[in-house]
Amino acid sequence: MSKNNRRNRTRQQHGHRQQQQPKNSSRAPNPSAVSFIISICNAHNPSHEHQHAKSTDAQKHGERVTFWTRCRVLLELAFTAIVAVATAMYAVVTYRQLDAMREQTIAILKQVDIAKKAAAESTASTNTSIELTRKASEAAGRSANAAEETAASAVESNKILRNTSEKSLRAYVTPITNSTLQYSPASKTFSATVQVQNTGQTPAHEVQSTGRVIQKPIDYKGPFDLPKEIPTYEMTAGPSRIWEITLSSEPTGQRDTTKATVWVYGVINYKDVFGEPRFTNFRFRQGLPLANGKDAYQLLFEREGNDSN
């Protein structure tokens, strides 16, 4: 039923009641009737209905606001609870992680201690090894020095032995005391016969010799120059072999032995059995006349000019 129909019906009832009511102006109004009328009037009053509708809308709006406020509060409480639970879970996870990290740190520290001890032991072992190596190196050095000294001594001994062997076995070519000097009045020259012998135990090879015969004052000191030309004649002289070297002087024109004397000198070159080049220098001086012949003299070795290698 619409509002207009209700309003018309109420008006009809009110008019009917007014017709039936006795006309007595002096009777007092009934309070309940007054209230009923007021309520009816208020019910049929558009402004009152409008206010009532506003009040109802406001109440509904307030209810809706209260509902959404409660929802918001519930959501905030739920979010806060979730955050609290998440925080608690994060705290638990963090605590467990920290505990695991602490255990790992303890394990790492233990490993570091073990590594330090191992490093210390390794360093000590290395130092010991280095010391042993140094001592071994020093011992090896001493052994090497001793070996080197032994080797040097052996080499020296070999040299000495080789020298001794060579010296005992090599050829020795040297003039002997049977050499003589002869004067020729016809040519006025001196001729020397120098006897040479290989006194060694092995042959002398490629034997060559050269020399001179000169007459000089008794106090002559030199020089004793050899001829520049080297003879091409070569020979091999076996052990104990004796041979002669003949040398002649330039014409002197005199034989006087009171103011002058005669020197006979020269060199013999050869190689021994070991292939070593050898030489023998010789120098004689005119001596006393020989008893078995006129103008024949001895040849005497000089103190200088007689050497060999």
- Number of Cβ atoms within 10 Å of the Cβ of 169: 14
Burial of 241 by CB count in 10 Å (0-12 exposed, 13-18 middle, 19+ buried)? middle
CA nearest to 266, candidates 197, 200, 198, 214: 214
Q: Cβ distance 188 to 157 under 8 Å?
A: no
Q: How confident is the model at residue 212 (pLDDT cuts 50, 70, 90)?
A: very high
pTM of the model: 0.52
274's tokens: 């070991």
Higher pLDDT among residues 58 and 147, named by residue:
147
Spatial separation of the C-alpha atoms in residues 301 and 82, rounded to whole Å: 137
Confidence label for 26 from pLDDT (cuts 50, 70 and 90) = very low
- Average the pLDDT over 157-168 and give the result: 86
Residue 234 has pLDDT above 80, yes or no: yes
More confidently predicted of 112 and 50: 112
> Which run of H or of E encompasses 69?
helix 46-169
SS3 287: strand
pLDDT, average across residues 101-111: 88
| Mean local confidence (pLDDT), 206-210 | 93
Q: How confident is the model at residue 154 (pLDDT cuts 50, 70, 90)?
A: confident
State the pLDDT at residue 306.
Answer: 94
pLDDT surpassing 70 at residue 22: no
Does residue 170 or residue 23 have the better pLDDT? 170
pLDDT digits (tens, 9 = 90+) for 267-282: 999 999 999 999 999 9
Residue 20 has pLDDT above 50, yes or no: no
Rg (CA), the chain: 79
User: What whole-number distance in Å separates Cα of residue 275 and Cα of residue 267?
Assistant: 19
pLDDT the model gives residue 124: 85
For the four alpha carbons of 197, 199, 204 and 210, in that order, the dihedral sign comes to negative
Lowest mean pLDDT among 27-36, 105-114, 284-293: 27-36
Please calculate the CA angle 159-164-169 and round it to the nearest 5 degrees. 125
